Amino acid sequence: MFDKEKYMDCFSQVRAPADALEKVRERLRGGGMPRNYRSLIIAGVLVPLFVLTAMAAGLSGVFTRTLEEGEKLEGSMSVSSGNVSREEKNVSIDGASLCVSFDIQGECKEVYFRPGWLPGEEHPSYTDEEGYSNIIYGTEGNKGDILCSVTVYTGEKLKDMNYFFSGETRLLVQDDWLDWQRLELVQSLTGAEGEAQKNNFLLLFSPEHSYLLVVAGDDAAGTGMEELERVAGDLEINITDKPAIAVKRTTDFANISLAWG
In a domain, 260, yes or no: no
Residues 90 and 174 in one domain: yes
- Specify the pLDDT at position 143: 86
Domain check: are 201 and 108 in the same one?
yes
- Cα-to-chain-centroid distance, residue 52: 21
**What is the predicted pLDDT for the residue at 191?**
77
72 and 52 in a single domain? The answer is no
131 and 242 share a domain? yes
How far lies 129's CA from each of 113, 116, 125, 236, 238, in Å?
10, 13, 12, 11, 10
User: Based on the domain organization, do 159 and 229 belong to the same domain?
Assistant: yes
In a domain, 168, yes or no: yes
pLDDT tens for each residue of 126-147: 999 999 999 999 998 888 899 9
The closest alpha carbon to 157, from 32, 256, 36, 24, belongs to 256
Residues of the chain with pLDDT under 50: 1-18, 21, 24, 39-40, 42-43, 45-57
Instruction: Tell me the C-alpha distance between 240 and 107, whole Å.
Output: 12
Q: Which of 31, 56, 81 is the last residue of a domain?
A: 56
Is the whole model's pTM more than 0.85, yes or no? no
78 & 21 share domain: no
Question: 174 in a domain, yes or no?
Answer: yes
Domain final residue, candidates 34, 56, 78: 56
- Same-domain pairing of 46 and 67: no
Say if residue 203 is in the same domain as residue 180.
Answer: yes
Residue 27 lies in domain: 4-56
Please tell me the total count of domains within the chain: 2
Count CA atoms within 13 Å of residue 173 on its CB side: 15
